[in-house]
């Protein structure tokens, strides 16, 4: 996520006079000043001092404070990206020379191979290919990877990767697909596709409708296999572990500060599978987790 322009500073208890401070990504040419004492309360902050090219972390962080993650954007995105790539390269044992050259993307090019300013294709040094879609979706759903979900949405943009992906283009295509599945306007409201947007909405009935169609689709097996298994793996590895329900549900979890949700498939004692979607939205939504789990148990017992 270098292009997000965000630096993350983790502050943890230390054994000496200073707390442990970790910065990701490392920034070449930016000095880290750790001024976080292990005495006092639990308060830490980070500030970038442009004149000194210094990232200063200040405050007090005692032994019982746990871990704090500070995220902020200290530099323009272009400069941060250059310094981060150089810093990561140095961590790997290398050193970069020369300069970074930025060029506008030409949407008319049919090749994704980079070109010089003169238009000549540049020699490739390394090529990285993403995993197969099945493997990508499997990892995304099992671990609830928000970044992967966002990128998967963007990949739906028409013409990608020969043309830059935009959220509007991707969302337009996805909304058209939802309409083909028989959903009405407002059944599912999309925003950024990451699972973290509070502007997104979905009716449980609409989710169940999609799940039922997915069950009989030709790609159903890899999709169902990608969902966390109750009491076994993914985000459900430590939930629904009672013998009566363990292994009998494949459910995607949804968690925000004020949201708890489950959607997927549950196998009843009869052997029949049921599509299920349930959501709780409330400032104390975490308290609804036992009720959501009880619903899954009920479907297993009654289904």
Domain boundaries, the chain: 2-91, 133-302
**Cα–Cα nearest to 263, from 236, 286, 284:** 236
254: pLDDT strictly greater than 90: yes
Mean pLDDT taken over the chain: 90
Distance CA 280, CA 175 (A): 25
% the chain with pLDDT above 70: 93
Please report the pLDDT score of residue 82 as a whole number.
87
141: pLDDT strictly greater than 70: yes
**Cα–Cα nearest to 83, from 10, 20, 151, 23:** 23
pLDDT, tens only, 40-92 = 889 999 999 999 999 999 999 998 898 888 888 888 888 888 899 899 999 99
Which of 56-60, 101-105, 125-129, 157-161 is predicted least confidently? 101-105
Give the pTM.
Answer: 0.71
Mean pLDDT of 269-291: 96
Q: State the CATH class of domain 133-302.
A: alpha beta
DSSP string, 153-198: HHTTSTTTTTS---HHHHHHHHHHHHHHTTPPTTSEE-SSSSS--T
37: pLDDT strictly greater than 90: yes
Distance CA 207, CA 113 (A): 40
Write out the E strands in 66-133. 68-72
């Amino acid at each position: 996520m270098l292009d997000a322009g965000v630096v993350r500073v983790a502050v943890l208890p230390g054994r000496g006079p200073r707390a442990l401070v970790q910065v990701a990504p490392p920034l070449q040419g930016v000095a880290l000043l750790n001024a976080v004492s292990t005495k006092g309360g639990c308060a830490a902050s980070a500030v970038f001092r442009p004149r000194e090219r210094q990232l200063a972390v200040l405050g007090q962080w005692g032994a019982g404070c746990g871990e704090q993650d500070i995220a902020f954007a200290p530099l323009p995105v272009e400069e941060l990206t250059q310094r981060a790539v150089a810093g990561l390269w140095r961590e790997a044992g290398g050193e970069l020379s020369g300069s970074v050259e930025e060029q506008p993307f030409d949407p008319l090019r049919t090749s994704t191979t980079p070109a010089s300013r003169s238009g000549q294709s540049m020699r490739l040094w390394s090529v990285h290919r993403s995993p197969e879609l099945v493997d990508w979706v499997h990892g995304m759903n099992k671990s609830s990877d928000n970044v992967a979900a966002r990128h998967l949405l963007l990949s739906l943009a028409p013409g990608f990767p020969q043309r830059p992906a935009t959220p509007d283009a991707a969302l337009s295509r996805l909304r058209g697909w939802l309409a083909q599945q028989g959903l009405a306007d407002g059944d599912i409201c999309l925003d950024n596709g990451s699972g973290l947007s509070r502007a997104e909405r979905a009716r449980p009935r609409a989710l169940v409708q999609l799940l039922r169609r997915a069950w009989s689709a030709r790609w159903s097996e890899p999709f169902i296999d990608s969902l966390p298994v109750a009491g076994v793996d993914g985000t459900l590895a430590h939930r629904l572990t009672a013998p009566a329900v363990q292994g009998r549900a494949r459910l995607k979890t949804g968690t925000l500060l004020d949201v708890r949700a489950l959607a997927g498939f549950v196998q009843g004692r009869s052997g029949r599978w049921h599509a299920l979607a349930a959501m709780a939205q409330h400032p104390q939504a975490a308290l609804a987790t036992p009720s959501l789990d009880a619903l899954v148990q009920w479907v297993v017992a009654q289904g």
